[in-house]
Structure formats: structure tokens, C-alpha cells
Amino acid sequence: MTAHISPQSTPRPKKASKKTCLWLALALALTACQASPPASPPSPTPTLPPEEYTLFLPGISYGATPGVTPSPSPSPAPAPEQPTPLPPPVFKPGAGVQVHLLSGDREQTLRWAEGLGVEWVKQQVDWNLIEHGPDDLDWTQLDRAVGDCNRFGFRLLISVINAPSHLRADPTGYGPPVDYSAFRRFMQQMAERYQGSVAAYELWNEPNLAREWSGEPLDPARFVALVAEGAQGVRAGDPHALVISGAPAVTGINDGVTAIDDRTYLRGMLAAGLAQWVDGVGVHPYGFANPPEASFRDAQQVAPSHNDHPSFFFRDTLEDYRAILLENGAGDLPLWVTEFGWPSVEGMGAMDTTGWEYARYVSEQQQADYTARAFQIGLATPWIGPMILWNLNIAVVYGNGRPESAYSLLRPDGSYRPVYLAVRFAAPPQP
């Protein structure tokens, strides 16, 4: 999971074509949602050569498309036991979603993912929950999850976090092992076990946060040393699996204790030799309450908070990371969007939003619109790899008692939110 931190808050747990418009119109008709008029698109403010780094921002429809007749509303539903079936999902190469397969109904979760038309699923794996002691590893749950993902035909990205307590300096913390070679050993064991079944491994998560890197000072060079060990383990266990670096968190904080600014941290990662160890660089371009095309440089902002720092903007984060890669001679590495999304508390019942009030500034319809548009932007940009949306079913697993559930594509009862249908019917960008 991820964690978002603003300068005003303490860390909290997290963590277009006409065809696309038609699909989205159909999705909205099916859910009887009335889209509120989105804000006018921000004025472009490129600061670097557009041929080098700028995102592809396709034409976005802000309202009815002239000459396009909306799809007719579906006929009244038959008896409750025979609901009107939805049209099939539109397949989107490169699109993905993070899932929770290690708890709950795994088969149902994968059917929900299948209904989105995505190519990838991501499962986060807590190393501490597999390795209980020296030579005491329990792979049972993960074996089942990997097997089921393959049966459904998904490409699987596994994110590995959190060393076992017996390997950490602070057994009560949440962070890396004292001896980084233990990570190489574990990743080789995992890659050998799932050779040919796991397409990619993401090594760690948001290491610029003290909450994810306890027991050691925050240090991008130390993190790269851990990635180097893990990458060598993956290569030895499965030479065909891809290795992705764990993404820094977008924070707006750079105090060196709670967090290091993600741009500063990424530069430190590259200076420490990250590029030689990975096939892609992880990035978490969360949008907070800002539209995906917006920039913190825009004269007018849609969101009333979290609008004054580039870390709060989907577009700024991607463009800044691309520029940093080019500055450091690593422009051949794609950015893997291993988490992104917009939270909305609408329709989710009472939720505590202290420190992340921006979730109250995003309606369910805006959540759907922003997500579909972000997929269009990212999947049309050649230097961006797979895009993994966070999160499919966290609300089903944890209910609305955890703030992260505001990002869920499903409500706690498993019903679809508008964002689920928007992703289901969104078409991939046209070449």
C-alpha cells in the first residue's frame, strides 16, 4: 500500500476518442450517475523540450461530443435474480489494477479484475508473512494466488515489502533486513518458485518514507544497495522476469526524517547506480484532488487544497521523473506506474479524512473521469510502461474503516462504483 503525506499532516496509512466517450456514456447510463461538468482544462505549461518528456495529452471531451448520439438507456431490469448483463469489457494492453488475493474470495476478486479489461494485476507480498524464521517459509497462499492469476490469463506483478522481524534491526518496525544479502536469497527463492508465472517483481515500496524504512536512516544509496541484492536474486531465479524499482512516495515533505522529497530521492537513486539493476523505474503519480491534466503551475486550480506542490499532481510527477531520468542518462528506462488513483468518500459512508481532506473534494463521478483520462494519457505516452490502478477491492476486504478504502473501485458490499465501470468501458488510446 502507499502513504500520502502533506506538509499540513502527519503520515497516515495508505497507502479521447469518440469510442471512449461512447463507452463512458454507456457506463454512466448503467449506473444512473449524473456527471457533473468537469473543470476547464488547464493551460499547458511545458518547461522542457516537449519531444523529450511531455506527456501525450489527447483531446478530452468536456461534455457532449457534437454529432455523437449517446447510447440508449438499457431496458428495465428483469427479475432481480436475472439482472441485465453488462456489455463485455474493453481490453486495454498495459493497463492493470492492484488486487488483494491473499484474503477474501480470490476467485471473485479475479473475476472483478477480469471485468475491467486489464492486462496486469499487482499483488503486494509482505515478506514477513511468508518467512517466519530461518528455513521456515510458508508459500501456500501465494502459490494459490499465482496459480489463479495464470489461470485467468493475467500478467502478474508482485511487489515485495517488509523484511521478517528476525532479520530487522528493529523487530517492531517495518523496513529492510540488517543484512541485505538476505533479500537476494529470498528473491531468488521466490523467482525460482514462480519461474515463468510471475512477469515482474517490484522491489520494495516508498522507501523515502520513515514508515517504510524503519531501522535505518532514509538514504537513497542504501535503498539502491538493497535493490541491487534483490535484482541479482531475481535474475538468478528467473532470468526472464522483469525487475522494477520500488517507487518513492509523493509527499511534499523533505525533512530527511519523516520523508525525503520524491524527486530528490529519485536523483539520489540514479546517482547511486540504480539504472544498472532494473528494467523499469517505479512511480506513484497520485493526483490527490487535481485532474490528471493539471499542473501546480496553473494559474487557477480545481482543488481547494494540495494544489501548491508538484508532488500532488499526476502530470507533474510523470513529467518530472522523465526529466530526471534524461538528466541522468537513464532515458531508456520506462516509468512503471505501479500505483495511481483518486480517492472519493462519496457513497462510502462515514470516513475519517483528517489530514487528507482532499478525498472530500473528489466526487465519485470525478474519480471515474480522472481515472479514465489518466489511463488515456499514460498508455499513449511511449516512455510510460504498464499502469497499475490502486485499488480494486480494498474496501471489500477492510470496509470503510480504513481511509485507503476511498480509492477502492468497489464498495464494501462488492457493488461497482462509477470508476469501475469507467475503466471497464474505456478504450485504449488510438495509435
77 inside domain: no
Residue 84: predicted pLDDT: 74
120 inside domain: yes
CB 303 within 8 A of CB 289: yes
State the residue range of the domain holding 100.
Answer: 18-31+91-425
Q: Which pTM was predicted?
A: 0.84
Which residue, 338, 51, 45, is CA-closest to 201? 338
Task: Give the total residue count for the chain.
Answer: 431
Q: How many CB atoms lie within 10 A of CB 89?
A: 17
Q: What percent of the chain has pLDDT over 90?
A: 74
1 inside domain: no
- Higher-confidence position of 418 and 22: 418
The three cell numbers of residue 431 are: 495509435
Q: Is the pLDDT of residue 169 over 60?
A: yes
38 inside domain: no
* pLDDT tens-digit series, residues 318-347: 999 999 999 999 999 999 999 999 999 999
Residue 38: predicted pLDDT: 39
**Which phi and psi angles does 255 have, rounded to 5°?**
-90, -5
CB 363 within 8 A of CB 406: no
Which residue, 157, 152, 115, is CA-closest to 410? 115
Number of compact structural domains in the chain: 1
Task: Write the CATH number for 248.
Answer: 3.20.20.80
State the chain's mean pLDDT as an integer: 86
| Cα 121 versus chain centre, distance | 10
* pLDDT tens-digit series, residues 37-70: 334 444 443 343 343 444 544 332 222 333 333 3
Q: How far apart are CA 102 and CA 159, in angstroms?
A: 13
78 inside domain: no
Which residue, 97, 40, 169, 177, is CA-closest to 388? 97
271 inside domain: yes
379 inside domain: yes
How many helices and strands in the chain, by DSSP H and E?
Answer: 12, 10
